[in-house]
Amino acid sequence: MHILMSTIAGLLAAYVSYFLNGRALKLLGEDAVTYGAPVIEETLKTGLAIAAGGSILFSHITFGLVEAAYDIFKNRGILQYTAGIAGLISHAVFGIITVYVWRFFGSPLVGVAIAIIIHMLWNHMIIHIRVKQ
């Protein structure tokens, strides 16, 4: 049941994030990718896992698998697999960060906040790498 609830949380977070990120992109433009998406995604992945009584890490990994599949179908060539693998690994890492920071500070809010900041830095770096290409 724990794995099932974690999977549902991750899938729901991916679905809702896709919708909200699209709206944020229309409102904020490209800044939505760097600043909006991390807030939306980290809050949903962790919040829904907690609400469902699931694993935060497994919710993040499920979300990463959905994003990887999306990137593989959306992109072409080597980029599709590179983006897919990077998405899966990065979301797993954001989950690990959330869990460890929460345990260290005793607060899920601090865990999510640190994961959001690191996710923003990651997205900023990825966008600048793509711009240089």
Instruction: Summarize pLDDT for 65-112 with one digit per residue, the tens.
Output: 999 999 999 988 888 899 999 999 999 999 999 999 999 999 999 999
Helix (H) / strand (E) containing 103: helix 78-105
Torsion of CA 59, 62, 68, 74, to 10 degrees: -100
Please indicate, yes or no, whether the overall pTM of this predicted structure exceeds 0.75: yes
Look at residue 31 and tell me whether its pLDDT is greater than 70.
yes
